[in-house]
Amino acid sequence: MRFDFIKCHGSGNDFPLIDARGIVLDDAIWAGVARALADRRGPVGGDGLLLLTDGDKTQAFGMRMFNSDGSEAETCLNGLRCVARAGFEALGLERAEVHLKTSVAHAELDRPLAAGVHTVRETAGPADLDVTHWPLSAPLTGLDAHEIVEQVIPMLPTARRFTAVAMPNPHLVSFDEVVDEDELVAVGTVCEAAPDWLPNRANVSFVTMRGDGIFVRTFERGVGLTDSCGSAMAASVFAACLTGRREFGVEMRVFNRGGLVLGQAESDGMVRLSGNATWEWAGSAEVDAARGIAGDLIVTRHYNDEIAAWAAVIETAAWIQAEPSA
């Protein structure tokens, strides 16, 4: 099968994006397409595969996101901005309700983060604090609560305290003065293994306070250590407000290795992110979904102006070089 796609990124979280409206394929085939196109060892590479899908009577269009391992995520907020831009351009819209796997999110065009940077505002939530919905089995962890806020989770190889937030995919968020990446990988690897107490896995983020904002580093479910994860940034924004480190209703800058977004959490659990949706290049490739292999890549266009606009954002962000780490 040959697929046309756009290689895009949101805050450094990069994906091939396929306009899948009108394309009917089994989920197993889409999973194979994701493994093929998102494979970093292949001709395209990415943190996952984005699909722009058909809408219905209440949503103009939808989004599906498959991780690089072929698993499907409930959402991907960096990816949502890219899909929203594609949907806006295809349908001539400036805002829409977007159908996700288990929820609906609002997206609309926003003022540019910087000159030449296509920017989309997305609103997701409400954040869900009930870990039995994940499920995270309290009896097996030694915890006796439906909510985990600033608590040690005994089954994890760390004494860090975590706050559990679903956006709607599950996140464990820990705040500290530095980001210890070895520790983050160790914790993320345990969660990625789908232990009995956490059968659907979870994303893990270590967060540091940065001026009037926050810095987020994430081990993403189905991906591993990633430069950026939109839903992790949303969960971290909400957790920062929930634990009193930042204020509800106040916009903050949210930094990551891939760039930045603007974030704001409300006390009702809704979280708004405003960030880039950048096209890098367009092309097509042959895909063997059964084997998860892509080949015969043809690049038809480069979006050099957009690439340069985002590079300017990165170059002026001195906080990237100043990132505290252990």
211 in Cβ contact with 317 (< 8 Å): no
CA distance 203 to 214: 17
CA distance 62 to 233: 22
Q: Which of 222, 218, 243 has its CA nearest to residue 231?
A: 218
Q: Which of 8, 76, 82, 191 is catalytic?
A: 76
Q: Which of 8, 82, 191, 229 is catalytic?
A: 229
Two structure tokens written together for 108: 């609309």
Pairing type for strands 61-67 and 224-226 reads: unpaired
CA distance 68 to 48: 4
CA distance 307 to 325: 28
Q: In degrees rounded to 5, what are phi and psi of residue 239?
A: -65, -35
How would you label 298-323 residue by residue, b for 16+ Cβ within 10 Å and e otherwise?
A: eeeeebeebbebbeebeeeeeebeee
8 labelled catalytic:
no
How would you label 107-129 residue by residue, b for 16+ Cβ within 10 Å and e otherwise?
A: bebbeebeeebbbbbbbbbebbb
Catalytic residues: 76, 229
